[in-house]
Amino acid sequence: MDRKPDFNRLEGTSRDFALEVLYYCHEKGMFAHKALTVAAVGKTGEKASRSATTEMSFGSIRRLISLDRAISQASGRAIEAVDPLLADILRIAVYQLLYMRKEASYAVVDSAVEQAKRLIGKGASGFANAVLRKVAAAGFALELPDPGSDPAAWLSVAESHPLWIVEDWTERFGMEAATGMCRYDNETPPAFVRVNSMKLTRDELIDRLAEKGSRPAPGGISPYAVKLPSWDSVASGDAFEEGLYSVQDQSSMLVAEMLAPKPGEFVIDMCAAPGGKTCHAAELAQDGARVLACDSNAKRLDLVGQNARRLSLKSVETMTADASKLHEKFAGKADAVMADVPCSGLGVLSRRPDARWRKDPSQAEEFAKISSSILDSAAQCLRPGGRLVFSTCTVSERENEKQLEDFLSRHHDFFPVPLKRLETLGISGEGSGYAQLLQGIHESDGFFIALLHKSN
């Protein structure tokens, strides 16, 4: 049942704002960030805090399994039997009680009960009061599966991830790593920026950002990365407008670095938008390479040009194109190719609060087929002796290691190249030619990267 809040009765508080976000996400199927944007229309900001709303709504979406379990435990009723609007009111409040803890428990309970009464009625407020008082009680603890007999089920509920994801991660990476990955997904990811090495050094950028009262620090994986204490104004301010840095996670900075483009080379970025890797490649080649950014989405491709202009890069070109057909125009012409292919995105769940609930095990095979055709096209675009970096922002074996294995079985003129610097960091296996970064374990998103050379 679609139980829409009576928007005339919303009072503009952060709690009401967050409830709108959950309504658009749960009942209308919007992605969480889009739901936040839609709900924000017309908000004056006088009562509602955007940051508080974001944490309450996104946290409630991320923690859905845990919250629904707590509500059912406290009410003795399956969550499916609770009015959808009331369920969302309870989710927000239970999230505050169990995970935010920035407001006194009695204030959270009173505010949520009042909200239920105002938007639904007296019966709903009585039910909310009973449930939330139980959750707020000192002795309340979320009942979890036994970690000894079923560790995957325990982790699925404790850290609110679909069971099939947890089972895969615990089997492949071990319980400790899987736990760290899930916990990372439930937090706002750290903010990283990439220094524009054509304009200044990383240390100089750190000094410049520190002048504004920030507390920047060097990233531990990429020599071009600077870690910032928060996302506040990260894509604004003088240093950003002057093109001194780009917003990019450390993991994706590795793509252009491993490719190591040089002046005079022809470089193709096959799935380029919004252009972080494209621009990094141009910077590393000192704006002396021809760097062609391709993407099938013309509107997103415009962002590549905007970023290049802000960074004062003149070597970047853009072309709207299907990546799987680029070889028809550029067969044997490229010196280096970046193929950051479409994927299931299991390495960036922290950035997309609702993504974990939209994933399905079958998607890995679907994305693998798409990326396979793109990689085949990349292989044909390269001249003999050329270089290919294949990457994804997922931790799926089918899309990563098995994809690489399948590619090498089809293309005997390609061979993997050891990622020496990543080997010294313990990220890449010795001589393997690829690295699987894990969110929460490495200082980055979950990310796969492989470097391949084409024989002369």
Q: Which residues are catalytic?
A: 393
SS3 82: coil
DSSP codes, 430-450: TT-SEEEE-BTTBSS-SEEEE
Backbone angles phi, psi at 194, to 5 degrees: -110, 125
Which residues, in sequence order, are bridge partners of residue 453?
A: 387, 415
Strands 334-340 and 382-392: parallel
Give the separation between CA 378 and CA 373, rounded to whole angstroms.
9
**Order of strands across the sheet with 217-218?**
217-218, 225-228, 191-195, 245-247
Query: Dihedral sign, CA of 113, 114, 119, 124?
Result: positive
Give the separation between CA 414 and CA 451, rounded to whole angstroms.
10
b/e map 296-317, b = 16+ CB within 10 Å? eeeeebbbbbebbebbebebbe
Find tokens 């019966």 and name the residue.
Answer: 123
Strands 414-416 and 382-392: unpaired
H or E element, residue 453: strand 447-454
Give the separation between CA 12 and CA 268, rounded to whole angstroms.
48
Q: Are 99 and 92 in contact (CB under 8 A)?
A: no
